[in-house]
């Protein structure tokens, strides 16, 4: 009898462990096949039927619709170039070359996926609206207090995430064409 109880408990513990692993995998997804470049991360093949099951589970749990495989490549950042979590109280400078694409957009989100600026304030830029310097590169500031030039207001509390979407790009995210040297830098400039 005791043997049966122990076996039952072992089954139960196994099931709990399995579900726990799934919860962790969705909350903090394992980096299977993830391409990292500086602060940026991309999941190859996500907008196609060939996406790996972990990426698919993550997107299903989050509820977003990724870019289609032929639509473009999405790079996301949760950290700055130095590796620290993006913090809405701080000021960041986004600068450097963006991989070639017809259009790119940079968008800031709250952790739940809502736009950082809400419905009223600016939450990002498109490549067509940024002001560029002589070299053709764009410098974008992200901070809670206004900055001259290209400025994305941050909510001033909590963490935030960034998406850099490259529409109609020649860069294929699984071809290792993306590395730290050819993606924009994300520098933390000031922090209270």
| 43 scored as a contact of another protein (CB under 8 A) | no
- Per-residue contact track with another protein, 112 to 131, x per CB under 8 A? xxxx---x---xx-xxxx--
7 three-state secondary structure: helix
Q: What are the backbone angles phi and psi of residue 11, rounded to the nearest 5°?
A: -60, -45
Instruction: Give the shortest CB-192-to-another protein separation in angstroms.
Output: 27
Radius of gyration of the chain (CA): 20
62 binds another protein (CB under 8 A): yes
The interface mask with another protein, positions 68-107, x = CB under 8 A, is xxxxx-----------------------------xx-x-x
Tell whether residue 133 is a contact of another protein (CB under 8 A): no
Number of residues that bind another protein (CB under 8 A): 57
Closest approach, Cβ 154 to another protein, in A, equals 16
- What is the C-alpha separation between 143 and 64, in angstroms, rounded? 26
DSSP state of 86: P
Distance CA 26, CA 86 (A): 20
Instruction: Report the alpha-carbon angle 87-93-97, nearest 5.
Output: 125
Q: What DSSP letter does each residue of 45-78 carry, written as one string?
A: TTTSTT--HHHHHHHHHHT-----TTTEEEEEES
Collect all residues with Cβ–Cβ distance below 8 Å to 133 and sequence separation of at least 6: 139
Q: Where in 146-185 is the site for another protein (CB under 8 A)? A: 161, 163, 165, 167-168
Q: Does 53 help bind another protein (rule: CB under 8 A)?
A: yes
Q: Which of 189, 188, 187, 173 is nearest to 37 (CA)?
A: 173
Q: Using CB under 8 A, which of the segments 36-44, 66-74, 135-143, 177-185 binds another protein?
A: 66-74
Asked if 60 is part of the footprint of another protein (rule: CB under 8 A), the reply reads yes
Q: Which is nearer to another protein, 7 or 84 (CB)?
A: 7
Interface with another protein (CB under 8 A):
3, 6-7, 10-11, 13-15, 17-19, 21-22, 25-26, 47-49, 51, 53-54, 56-57, 59-66, 68-72, 102-103, 105, 107, 109, 112-115, 119, 123-124, 126-129, 161, 163, 165, 167-168
């Amino acid at each position: 009898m005791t043997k049966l109880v122990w076996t039952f408990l072992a089954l139960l513990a196994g099931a709990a462990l399995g579900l726990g692993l799934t919860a962790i995998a969705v909350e903090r997804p394992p980096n299977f096949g993830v391409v990292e470049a500086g602060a940026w991360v991309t999941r190859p093949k996500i907008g196609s039927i060939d996406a790996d099951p972990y990426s698919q589970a993550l997107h299903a749990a989050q509820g977003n619709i990724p870019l289609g495989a032929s639509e473009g490549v999405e790079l996301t950042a949760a950290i700055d170039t130095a590796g620290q979590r993006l913090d809405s109280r701080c000021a960041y400078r986004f600068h450097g070359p963006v991989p070639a694409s017809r259009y790119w957009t940079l968008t800031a989100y709250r952790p739940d996926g809502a736009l950082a600026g809400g419905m009223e304030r600016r939450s990002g830029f498109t490549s067509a609206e940024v002001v560029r310097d002589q070299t053709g590169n764009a410098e974008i500031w992200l901070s809670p207090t206004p900055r001259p030039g290209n400025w994305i207001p941050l909510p001033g509390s909590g963490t935030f995430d960034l998406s850099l979407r490259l529409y109609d790009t020649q860069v294929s995210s699984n071809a290792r064409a993306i590395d730290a040297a050819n993606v924009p830098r994300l520098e933390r400039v000031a922090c209270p």
